[in-house]
Structure 1
Amino acid sequence: MLQNNLVLKQKVDKLWKKFWSNGISNPLTAIEQITYLLFIKRIDDLDLENKNKAQSGGEYYKSKFEGKFIVPGTKEELDKETLRWSYFKGMNSEDLIPHINTKVFPFLKSLSVETAPFAKHMKNAVFAISKPKLLEETIQIIEEIFEEIKKDSIERNQSFQDIQGDVYELLINEISSSGKNGQFRTPRHIIKLINELLEPEIGNKIADPACGSGGFLLGAYQYIATKLDKNKDTVIQDEDGFYRSSVSGLLSEDIKNILGKSLYGYDIDITMVRLGLMNLMMHGIDNPNIDYKDTLSEAYNEENKYDIIMANPPFTGSVDQSDINSKLKVKTTKTELLFIERIYNMLRVGGSAGVIVPQGVLFSTGKAFVAIRKMLLEKTELKAIINMPSGVFKPYAGVSTAILIFTKGGQTEHVWFYDMQSDGYTLDDKRMKESGYGDLQDIVSKYHQRSEKKKNSRSDKSFLVAKNEIKDLGYDFSISRYKEEEIVDDTYEEPKDIIFDIEKLEKEIEEKLIELRSIFDEMD
């Protein structure tokens, strides 16, 4: 987690203060403008990396900066090379604003075909940095941020960085605007954990119906790309115990196209849609499928389509009844329940989901809560319920959460429960890295080895519970209903022995006192 990098935090804080002091005080505006520059920088870096790899291998690579670009509204024709970050970063500050605003930014919008989500949602995007000095200082700080991230990736064995997501997370933290509308970024190691449990494969259609900046989609892309990496045996464990490699530049165009067409994200915040689109493009996905849609509304009707769904939907409390899709049968306005049914409907038969929910979903007695739990137990193969401690989403929120793993159309016989005590980080607002991996690797190992024949004691962290037992207890999914506390019998000495020990100790003390008095008498 880059939030543990104090140098990086200081640089992001410095960047935010520059925007604030220059009159850009709306947090999302600042984040969006910074993201545009991060994107321009990352696209240049990625293009140069791929170009160098192709040349070293004697192959041809078509650069995004190859050829000419006609400046919109003029007849001026430019070499695209002049639109690179590495070209303009050293320009005079007075020339930077018009160059980026009238040339680089329009080029940025043209990076995708007109019908693609990126082109559609960038159409009305505006580059709002109007002060040359602010732009010059921002470029310098972004250069420093990328250098620090590169250093961090080497030291922590994080070969694959969600750069935009990490900086976004730090910005949100710095400006104390986290959790707005129930949105907060899922920690990278929890995304990795869910991918390890679901094991997405090349060719799977993968979706997130409330994708934010695209972290789950990027996590799936990274997981699959690592499996396809010919050199994966040389990859070492990262700080969370997972094996991940950054191989987008090594993937064939066919594989990249398949992966690009496999990932689908939706969000109701246009800023987050743009962030998500740029996030995936930063990592080599040329035409990401992230769109502006309310997946709970009448306008969204995709059903039986996806092989894998991973989501941390917002816990906003409730939505307007009139906005809810009539095909959602659970009578509620609570988003955490509506999204579970939406995800169920989106999955094809045989498709699996990993969903983060507030723990209240597991045990609340309201009719809608019980109905959702009944649906999961009766209509899916409910494979796992993993309780997470309340600090996992700090400093954004202290709410206790759980991960639900289920497959549509299967039959539940037993549900595997795991009581996570640690995710490898402190559970306070600082969320500092602890030694080891917490319970992360234990969860992955035991989940894939779970079996009726290997029933654990219910006093252990993990154990199986039969479907009928859960049903008989009113579809209660809380682990506390099934976990048995291990009682340790304390043994005590007999009273007469305790009295004997006390008398013996008193005698020893009296002897010491006599000895000390004797010493003092001699000194006198």
Structure 2
Amino acid sequence: MLQNNPELKNKIDQLWNKFWSGGISNPLTAIEQITYLLFMKRLDELDLKRQSDAEWIGGEYTSKFEGDWIPPEYRARWEDKDTESDWARKQEDEKRYAVKKSTLRWSEFKRMQAEEMLQHVQGKVFPFLKDLNGSESSFTHHMKNAVFIIAKPALLVEAVKTIDEIFEVMERDSRENGQAFQDIQGDVYEMLLSEIATAGKNGQFRTPRHIIKLMSDLVQPQLGHRIADPACGSGGFLLGAYQYIVTQLAINAGSKDLMPDEDGFVRTSVAAALTEKAKAILASSLWGYDIDATMVRLGLMNLMMHGIDDPHIDYKDTLSKSYTEESEYDIVMANPPFTGSIDRGDINENLQLSTTKTELLFVENIYRLLKKGGTACVIVPQGVLFGSGSAFKALRQLLIERCDLKAVITLPSGVFKPYAGVSTAILLFTKVWDSKDKVTQPATENVWFYEMAADGYSLDDKRSKQDGNGDLQDIVAKYRSRNSANNDDRSAKWFVVARGEIENEGYDLSLSRYKTDVFEDVHYDPPGVILDRLIIGEVGDPDGMDLTNLQSGIVRELLDLREMVG
């Protein structure tokens, strides 16, 4: 997290202030513009690294900056024209409007003078960025309406300089601390949202990376799984699943130099060792949807900066009637928005819960998206666990009867600060019965509960890194051994509750309903001893004192009280 590197935090503060003073004060607009620049920088670096890797191993790699680029508006002129005269004019146009791709690199245009740089980035680099994956790609489709609004040459120059400095800090931090290169775009996004009072107002705040890593370790996605997030935001869960899979493949291939990160998880984003087949399978495995066009673009660029060339992130309302996918995914990981209600007329008729509350509808929809045998790991507000409304109870009954509800992990209320202080929980469940199936036997036998007390960070607005990893690694270890360990002690952090008991409690899933409180005997000194202690604090040892010479006041009253109690 940014708070653990003051130098990095300071650089990003500087970047935010430059955009603010440069007239771009809307936070999401600033985030989007900054992300475009980060993407330009990262694209250049990744391309150069892939070229270097290919040369090192004797492989082949075609640079994204090799050859000429013809802007799409000029390409479109000649799509349906193939006469000889047209062909000659087409070649003429190509010579006139062709741009050498090498000049579109960050490392090239950052050396330009201010005015020239702005014109070059506005007129050539940004249009090239929008056209990067070809006219048919999801990225190009969603970038179609993107606009580069930095209008001041000085702001662009300062932003480019600061982003170079940010990369230098992060690369040094990576080398010195042995960590994988961090999610820069995500860090900037998180930091900018923390600067404004309305952060999280529309559910647009990032899930902390260590919580995503925890959830990935719990569901253990594998190569070949179809993985989705129906409210993906900037793509954090998809990236978390991707990194988990790549890490496991690297370990299976014999990598020995992977070390636990600051949260105790082993992770790498380096996919260079993967076969082309594995890369293709992995790239087609990740699917994200969001109803905010800006977030879709941020998510696309986030995954592309981590080596997924053509991510599947789309603009869709997954609760609406227009979204028809069902039983499609092996894994669903999500932290869906739970900020209120939606219009009843817009709700997909396949959703059976009689409610407009998004926190309930999203969980039901996630159940619907899972294949039989598919597993979901979802963050919900704790009210979902015990709400007394009929829709709350119906959802919990669905999770118990139609799914194998494996775990309920309660999180401390500070996990999502500074954005929100709401208490949340992680639900982990596997779909057993489809919505059309008749349930002959409830799927859940036992539910494993864990009460997380700490996540390795302070639970105030600063969220500073603490010594150790809190309960993160303990949760993973205890969950994996839950069937073999003794889980009967209801006073412990973790325990198992049988389905029958949960049914008898009206499908209540709140941990406090089943936890046994332990009261310790507290020894108190006799009143006379306590009074002596108070008197000594005022005048010293009271034995043998001449009370006639003692001034009236609190000490006199304490002495009188001691005489009364004996």
SS in 2 for 1:182: coil
Q: Tell me the distance in 1 between the aligned counterparts of 2:526 and 2:302.
A: 69
1:215 to 236, 249, 262: 236
Q: Which moved more, 1:167-176 or 1:441-450?
A: 167-176
1:467 aligns with 2:499: yes
* Structure 2: runs of 5 or more not aligned: 75-95, 434-442, 535-539, 547-566
Q: Tell me the distance in 2 between the aligned counterparts of 1:84 and 1:377.
A: 54
Q: Which moved more, 1:59-68 or 1:350-359?
A: 59-68
**What does residue 518 of structure 1 align with?**
none
Q: Specify the code of the residue in structure 2 equivalent to 1:344.
A: Y
Count how many residue pairs are aligned between Structure 1 and Structure 2.
513
Q: Specify the code of the residue in structure 2 equivalent to 1:430.
A: K
**What does residue 149 of structure 1 align with?**
170
SS in 2 for 1:86: helix
C-alpha deviations, 1:276-297, integer Å up to 9, x for none?
0011011111110000000000
- Identical amino acids, percent of aligned pairs: 61
2:332 to 309, 312, 316: 309
2:196 to 167, 170, 175: 175
SS in 1 for 2:372: strand
Counterpart contact for 1:3–1:166, Cα < 8 Å: no
1:269 to 292, 295, 298: 292
Q: Which moved more, 1:379-388 or 1:81-90?
A: 81-90
Q: CA deviation at 1:497?
A: 11
Counterpart contact for 1:232–1:245, Cα < 8 Å: no
- TM-score in terms of structure 2 length: 0.86
Q: Tell me the distance in 1 between the aligned counterparts of 2:533 and 2:349.
A: 77
- TM-score in terms of structure 1 length: 0.93
In structure 2, relative to structure 1, the CA distance for the partners of 1:192 and 1:4 (3 Å cut) is same
Counterpart contact for 2:409–2:426, Cα < 8 Å: yes
Q: CA deviation at 1:501?
A: 12
Q: Which of the two has higher C-alpha Rg? A: 2
In structure 2, relative to structure 1, the CA distance for the partners of 1:70 and 1:482 (3 Å cut) is same
**What does residue 505 of structure 1 align with?**
none
**What does residue 35 of structure 1 align with?**
35
Q: Tell me the distance in 2 between the aligned counterparts of 1:5 and 1:452.
A: 41
Q: Tell me the distance in 2 between the aligned counterparts of 1:485 and 1:479.
A: 11
Q: Specify the code of the residue in structure 2 equivalent to 1:243.
A: V
**What does residue 66 of structure 2 align with?**
66
* Structure 1: runs of 5 or more not aligned: 503-507, 515-524
Counting only pairs closer than 5 Å after superposition, residues 307-386 of structure 1 correspond to structure 2 as: 307-386=330-409
1:418 aligns with 2:450: yes
1:239 aligns with 2:267: no
SS in 2 for 1:181: coil
Q: CA deviation at 1:451?
A: 1.4
1:125 to 119, 137, 146: 146
**What does residue 50 of structure 1 align with?**
50
Q: Tell me the distance in 2 between the aligned counterparts of 1:193 and 1:156.
A: 21
**What does residue 101 of structure 1 align with?**
122
1:116 aligns with 2:137: yes
Q: Tell me the distance in 2 between the aligned counterparts of 1:403 and 1:154.
A: 33
In structure 2, relative to structure 1, the CA distance for the partners of 1:494 and 1:16 (3 Å cut) is closer
Counterpart contact for 2:72–2:131, Cα < 8 Å: no
Q: Tell me the distance in 1 between the aligned counterparts of 2:126 and 2:108.
A: 14
Counterpart contact for 1:157–1:239, Cα < 8 Å: no
C-alpha deviations, 1:189-245, integer Å up to 9, x for none?
000000000000000000000000000000000000001113543211110000012
C-alpha deviations, 1:113-152, integer Å up to 9, x for none?
3222111101111111111111001100111111122223
Q: CA deviation at 1:177?
A: 3.4
C-alpha deviations, 1:251-303, integer Å up to 9, x for none?
22221111110000000000000000011011111110000000000010100
Q: Tell me the distance in 2 between the aligned counterparts of 1:46 and 1:68.
A: 20
Counterpart contact for 2:532–2:542, Cα < 8 Å: no
Counterpart contact for 1:212–1:276, Cα < 8 Å: yes
SS in 1 for 2:414: helix
**What does residue 522 of structure 1 align with?**
none
Q: Specify the code of the residue in structure 2 equivalent to 1:94.
A: E
Q: Specify the code of the residue in structure 2 equivalent to 1:57.
A: I
Counterpart contact for 1:27–1:177, Cα < 8 Å: no
In structure 2, relative to structure 1, the CA distance for the partners of 1:405 and 1:320 (3 Å cut) is same
In structure 2, relative to structure 1, the CA distance for the partners of 1:68 and 1:446 (3 Å cut) is same
Counterpart contact for 1:212–1:273, Cα < 8 Å: yes
SS in 2 for 1:265: strand
Counterpart contact for 2:170–2:181, Cα < 8 Å: no
Root mean square deviation of aligned Cα? 2.4
Q: Tell me the distance in 2 between the aligned counterparts of 1:258 and 1:155.
A: 33
1:91 aligns with 2:123: no
Q: Tell me the distance in 2 between the aligned counterparts of 1:501 and 1:192.
A: 53
Q: Tell me the distance in 2 between the aligned counterparts of 1:69 and 1:499.
A: 89
**What does residue 189 of structure 1 align with?**
210
SS in 2 for 1:249: coil
Q: CA deviation at 1:8?
A: 1.9
**What does residue 401 of structure 1 align with?**
424
Counterpart contact for 1:424–1:438, Cα < 8 Å: yes
In structure 2, relative to structure 1, the CA distance for the partners of 1:492 and 1:28 (3 Å cut) is closer
Q: Tell me the distance in 1 between the aligned counterparts of 2:9 and 2:532.
A: 62
In structure 2, relative to structure 1, the CA distance for the partners of 1:155 and 1:429 (3 Å cut) is farther
Q: CA deviation at 1:512?
A: 11
SS in 2 for 1:264: strand
Counterpart contact for 1:4–1:431, Cα < 8 Å: no
In structure 2, relative to structure 1, the CA distance for the partners of 1:497 and 1:401 (3 Å cut) is closer
Q: Tell me the distance in 2 between the aligned counterparts of 1:43 and 1:491.
A: 66
